[in-house]
Chains A and B, each alone.
Chain A
């Protein structure tokens, strides 16, 4: 005679409920770890417990090595948008505002968000897999046994480099995107470079530039903290490293979209 408890445990409803419950627990655990590790990292950064050489190494990794792919993505996005919009605007008599539209689009949105996506795929995944590998090979345990705080040693230079380098990357990528838009406009319409670049500054205010830099700053910190935390929480072997990397990428994507939404509501709603 099967009891109700046994029947319930074998049912599809129970199994589906269990999967959702586990995912909820995983969500709460991951979110908690990101908050706790982020707070500990910021505490070290505020108290200036930073090693310049390690910070420089991470800045080179975060900024210089990721620049080609970031420029490629922002540049290509700019070409795609300009090639579709510029000729239509010229036809409708709005040719003098192509530069304005592109600069607004890139400075307010495309530059930071596309750079964020590029950094997540290149640097975020690399940070998560590096720290996850250190976790599963007991290197992080070794750091703890040697009485060094892994948060200070691993998180601080990586997160600080994200905070410093992301605005730099976004400024360079945005400038590149605006220039690429100008070249595309000149190649696909009868509008010249001058008409395009004359209108670039018409709609850009200091507020836009400030918001762009602040957004980049938040994106950089968020990507680095999420990636390091997901790697730090890894367990098991190769599968654990893979899961941690996937989680870091997904959470970072969601993180920067949430930041983007917050900035849009706060400054442009």
Chain B
């Protein structure tokens, strides 16, 4: 089992954002996490990759790196594309003297090719479109051959065609790396095209767990409201 989360609890300012959630993701599987804005989806990712500390519960991941693709790419704007992708290989204590310049160049070129971008090594993030930045951030994430890949709203702010392209690359990276992946998203197309299974969060709890196909059956009040984008239903915007 590549990611196992058990009874995870996290509070901010006294409010329980995650209230004892549990799920598992196997190698080669992609789990979609859906829910309202502010329902704790991104918090799940930040807890798994260690950016924030959990209050209680267990997070077990396979040995190996955990990579994360951020919502707005988070590319280093003072570095060019090649330096962004090779950043971990140049700066990480255990990797920094492992590769020669020629090898780094070769790795960058291969990773860029994998995400359909060639010949942009010298460009800076500000010279790229949103979709291209996202693909560069994919290349940066997989440069250390991670066993776990986390995507935080990978298609946010992109046009429908760019979104489809990004979804295709998520599937392709999944096949290439056989990593366990978690995709946080609001997009039904992203869920349908990339995920093997799905959980829905509301008020800190998992209110639905199943496959994307089961979600569409609409026999759950929560998923029914989400799929139909209805204001009527058990879920209300969390204001506090």
Contact = CB atoms under 8 A, between A and B. Distances in A.
A146 B72 contact: no
B168 interface: no
Interface in B42-77: 46, 49-51, 65-68, 70-72, 74-77
Contact of B74 (A141, A147, A153): A141
Interface in A131-154: 134, 137-139, 141-148, 153
B87 A139 contact: no
Contacts of A137: 72, 74
A144 B70 CA distance: 12
A234 to B, nearest CB: 15
Contacts of B71: 138
A145 B49 contact: yes
Contacts of A153: 91
A147 B95 CA distance: 10
B51 A145 contact: yes
B74 A139 contact: yes
Contacts of A139: 74-77
B88 interface: yes
Contacts of A142: 68, 70, 74-76, 140
Interface string B71-89: 1101111000000000110
**Which among A139, A142, A145 has the highest number of chain B CB atoms within 10 Å?**
A145
Interface residues of B, number: 21
Q: Report the interface size class on chain A.
A: 10 to 19
A147 B51 contact: no
A138 B72 contact: yes
B87 A148 contact: yes
A147 B92 contact: yes
**Which among B50, B70, B140 has the highest number of chain A CB atoms within 10 Å?**
B70
A145 B51 CA distance: 7
**Which among A144, A146, A153 has the highest number of chain B CB atoms within 10 Å?**
A146
Interface string B117-141: 0000000000000000000000010
A148 B88 contact: yes
Interface in A112-129: none
A126 B74 CA distance: 20
Interface in B32-50: 46, 49-50
Given A139-B76, A141-B74, A142-B76, A148 B91 contact: yes
Interface of B: 46, 49-51, 65-68, 70-72, 74-77, 87-88, 91-92, 140, 144
Given A139-B76, A146-B92, 11 more contacts: A137-B72, A137-B74, A138-B74, A141-B68, A141-B74, A142-B140, A144-B51, A145-B49, A145-B50, A146-B140, A148-B92
The 7 closest A-B pairs by CB, nearest first: A138-B74, A146-B88, A142-B74, A148-B91, A145-B68, A138-B70, A145-B49
26 contacts: A134-B76, A137-B74, A138-B70, A138-B72, A139-B74, A139-B76, A139-B77, A141-B46, A141-B68, A142-B68, A142-B70, A143-B76, A144-B50, A144-B51, A145-B49, A145-B50, A145-B51, A145-B67, A146-B87, A146-B92, A146-B140, A146-B144, A147-B65, A148-B88, A148-B91, A153-B91
